[in-house]
Amino acid sequence: MIHDVVVCSLERWDSVWRRNQYLLAGLLASDPTLRVLFVEPPVDPVHMARSGGRPRAGSGLRRVDGVEGVAPGRLWALEPTKWLPRAVGPLADRWLVEAVVGAGRRLGITDPVLWVNDPAAAAVLRRTGWPACYDITDDWLRADRAPRVRARLEADEALLLERCTEVVVCSPGLATTKGATRPVRLIPNAVDVAHYRAPASRPDDLPDGPCAVYVGTLHHDRIDVDLCVAVARALPDGAHLVLVGPNLLGEAATDRLGEEGVVCTGPVGHREVPAYLQHADVLVIPHAVNPFTESLDPIKAYEYLAVGRPVVATPVPGYGLADTPGVAVAAPVAFARAVADALEGPRLPPGARPPAVDVPDWQERVAAMAEVLRSVGRET
């Protein structure tokens, strides 16, 4: 029986849920003895100052309440502070590791299972020796990174692949690349099917008129800004391209999209996301097509299929995108025209329910991840 888990995540625990939150919420709800310390990315006050922002320290340890089926005091989040750049060497990692170990000690967590999503948490594994699993959701070695950053990623991942009891991957592409040197478990993404199919009212910030909607974090590693501009220019009069999610594109790209009439809503909580999907006239995935995106298993693909609206996607991996009626997979050169055609053709009225597509539910993935954690725990 696993009682304590320390999760080193690439994302904050907030209202915008990703894979980690869905899995952990399910695990906590299904096992009343489980406690979780969720370690968020550290705040970097030096980088904030250099970028012209207002520097601040991390908020430290806090209790996370309000997760359905989870009693208060069983889920904690830690936002550490990155006082030194990792380029200075082991001293920088020591600050972060001590913050994690110290927070665990305050909670009485001294012998947990370590769940690594952020490769930088290799430093925590190296320091503590906690039994660990490595949950790989993106192949950062294939992303466009500076040579120094890539070398650090390679070293961190090599240690994790060697020393973690279990390695979990979310996509067949990752299973091929990461499984070349050791066994891995494939646990893809999923969707909360019942929640996404429950009728919701049209969001107030969704523009009037036909809308092509994308839901997900706006980041240059994934979204193709040039393609979004092309879509905006190809849409019929009165139609809008709406990008729903946290915006990490930067000021120049955001301004460029705004000049073309693209609507960026900013972050939307996971409870509200289905409304945007249900009231879209077409759902889009304008992802860049490159080695990095080929490693992904986009959660949005499951969410899109659950609501049953028409979909246009670039040829990147995604559950059911290649062989589901109502889904058009278009190369980048033809993508904008495909979106415009979908908006100009016959459309389902908002909230209309086409024949249901069989989509995996997060509960299936929670059960699979619980077995991984039990396997790691048996190694102690």
Domains in the chain, number: 2
- Is 13 among the domain residues? yes
The reported pLDDT for the residue numbered 347 is 61
Question: For residue 198, which amino acid is it?
Answer: A
Q: Are residues 11 and 147 in the same domain?
A: yes
Q: Are residues 147 and 216 in the same domain?
A: no
- Domain CATH code at residue 336: 3.40.50.2000
Instruction: List b or e across 58-71, with b for residues whose CB sees 16 or more CB atoms inside 10 angstroms.
Output: beebeebeebeebe
Which residues make Cβ contacts (< 8 Å) with residue 170, sequence separation at least 6? 19, 135, 136, 137, 186, 187, 188, 189, 296, 297
Q: Is residue 114 part of a domain?
A: yes
Distance CA 115, CA 291 (A): 26
| Whether residue 201 sits in one domain with residue 254 | yes
Would residue 356 count as lying in a domain?
no
Distance CA 61, CA 77 (A): 6
| Rounded Cα distance, 368 and 380, in Å | 20
State whether 255 and 316 are in the same domain. Answer: yes
Residue 350 is predicted with a pLDDT of 58
Residues 29 and 114 in one domain: yes
Q: Is residue 355 part of a domain?
A: no
Instruction: Write out pLDDT tens, residues 192-240.
Output: 999 999 999 999 999 999 999 999 999 999 999 999 999 999 999 999 9
Q: How far is CA 285 from CA 216, 217, 218, 242, in A?
A: 9, 12, 11, 12
The predicted-structure confidence for 171-194, as pLDDT tens digits, reads as follows 999 999 999 999 999 999 999 999
Q: Which long-range contacts (CB under 8 A, 24 or more apart) does 347-353 make?
A: 347/210, 347/281, 347/282, 347/310, 348/308, 348/309, 348/310, 350/202, 350/278, 350/279, 351/199, 351/278, 351/279, 353/197, 353/308
Element (H, E) at 305: helix 299-307
- Asked, for residue 23, whether it belongs to a domain, the answer is yes
Residue 181 CB neighbour total at 10 angstroms = 11
Check residue 353 and give its pLDDT.
57
Amino acid at 248: L
Q: What's the count of helices (H) and strands (E) in the chain, helices before strands?
A: 13, 14
Is residue 357 domain-resident?
no
What pLDDT is recorded for position 86?
67
Q: How far apart are CA 351 and CA 68, in angstroms?
A: 26
Helix or strand holding residue 24 (H, E):
helix 19-30
Q: What's the pLDDT score for residue 294? A: 87
Same domain, 200 and 323: yes
Shared domain check, 373 and 289: no
Specify the pLDDT at position 87.
64
SS3 75: strand
Does 350 map to a domain? no
The parent domain of residue 207 ranges over 193-344
Show pLDDT as tens, one digit a residue, over the chain (380 residues).
568 999 999 999 999 999 999 999 999 999 999 999 999 999 887 777 777 778 888 889 999 999 999 999 999 999 998 877 666 666 678 888 999 999 999 999 989 999 999 999 999 999 999 999 999 999 888 888 888 889 999 999 999 999 999 999 999 999 999 999 999 999 999 999 999 999 999 999 999 999 999 999 999 999 999 999 999 999 999 999 999 999 999 999 999 999 999 999 999 999 999 999 999 999 999 999 988 888 889 999 999 999 999 999 999 888 878 878 889 999 999 999 999 999 987 666 655 555 567 899 999 999 999 999 999 987 65
Joined together, the tokens standing for residue 21 give 């939150």
Contact predicate 175/149, CB 8 Å = no
